[in-house]
Amino acid sequence: MPDNAPKLDTAEIQNARRELAACFRMAARLGMHEGICNHFSAVVPGYNELFLVNPYGYAFSEVTASNLLICDFEGNVVYGDGVPEPTAFHIHAQLHKLKPSARVAFHTHMPYATALAMIDAEPLNYAGQTAARFYNRVVVDDDYNGLALDNTEGARIANAVGDADIVFMRHHGVMVLANSIAEAWDDLYYLERACEVQVLAMSTGKKLIPIDHDLVRKTGEQIMSEAAAGAGLHLASIQRQLDRLEPDYRN
């Protein structure tokens, strides 16, 4: 390997691989995936122009630390066997390139959040405490254009995000953006839980009662003030569970 070649087997990168693989496995266990079509990515520690992403053709339940790919923004696989799913490359490469603060991007068609991306209303009603953590952090991308099969559509999605952490993609699914894998997992998990209880409440046919504007803002701030530490503990928890249930994710 040339002296100036990226050193892609550092301890920090190996840890990121294990963390990301754990998120795939737990997402599969919780039904937050769709066949082989959804994708998680993370900027490679130490290399802002490279990102980890799952290989096309693998279900979330099959992802391991070692079979994650490393790609550059030009579409080259620089480490690993296989290729990313085409929409995974175009969406995630442009997100990481155009939004450097989005070091991690999780895209799913998880059922409850996706259901709320399909309704003729703002997706979140903010009637429940769990939803409050997302107050003032959400954007809705209304410009559905079919599959993201080129960089133009990936760039459009990236530009539509603005300063949001959570993107409801009309007719499509959701995107969670974060600074770390732990924070992305924490938001993804609680987003689906918030959407699930909202869909259940809506199914009663009764009117939802949103939390008062000032109180939902205050509650969201309270939750997010604890989120950094809580996210790390949450990720450690799912890794302990997987170490017992399916430890091969670390391989």
Instruction: Quote the longest CA-to-CA distance of the chain.
Output: 65
- Report the SS3 class of residue 179: coil
pLDDT bracket for residue 145 (50, 70, 90): confident
| Helix (H) or strand (E) run with residue 29 in it | helix 11-29
For residue range 8-30, what is the model confidence (pLDDT) as tens digits?
889 999 999 999 999 999 999 99
Percent share of the chain, pLDDT over 70: 98
Backbone angles phi, psi at 26, to 5 degrees: -70, -35
DSSP assignment letter at 216: H
pLDDT of 150 > 70? The answer is yes
pLDDT bracket for residue 154 (50, 70, 90): confident
Kind of pairing, strands 166-169 and 138-141?
parallel
Residue 140: which residues within 8 A CB-CB, separation 6 or more?
Answer: 117, 122, 123, 167, 168, 170
39-44 sheet: strands from edge to edge: 77-79, 69-72, 47-53, 39-44, 104-108, 173-178, 166-169, 138-141
Query: Exposed e or buried b for every residue in 211-233, given b needs 16+ CB within 10 A?
Result: beeeebeebbeebbeebeebbbe
For range 3-9, the mean pLDDT:
73
Q: What is the pTM of this model?
A: 0.94
pLDDT at 1: 42
Beta bridge partners of 167: 139, 175
pLDDT bracket for residue 228 (50, 70, 90): confident
For residue range 64-111, what is the model confidence (pLDDT) as tens digits?
999 999 999 988 999 999 999 888 888 888 999 999 999 999 999 999
- Helices H / strands E in the chain, number of each: 8, 8
CB 248 within 8 A of CB 64: yes
What is the spatial distance between Cα 52 and Cα 191, in angstroms, rounded to a whole number? 23
Burial of 72 (0-12, 13-18, 19+ CB in 10 A): middle
Q: Taking all residues of the chain, what is their mean pLDDT, rounded to a whole number?
A: 93
For residue range 166-185, what is the model confidence (pLDDT) as tens digits?
999 999 999 999 999 999 99
- What type of residue is 109? H
pLDDT at 235: 97
Q: Among 193, 169, 42, 45, which Cα is nearest to 108's?
A: 169
CA angle 111, 53, 156 (to 5 degrees): 70
Q: Among 31, 46, 39, which Cα is nearest to 68's?
A: 39
Architecture, CATH, for domain 11-243: 3-Layer(aba) Sandwich (3.40)
What is the spatial distance between Cα 242 and Cα 240, in angstroms, rounded to a whole number? 5
pLDDT at 232: 95
Between 145 and 215, the more confident residue is 215
For residue range 34-74, what is the model confidence (pLDDT) as tens digits?
999 999 999 999 999 999 999 999 999 999 999 999 999 98
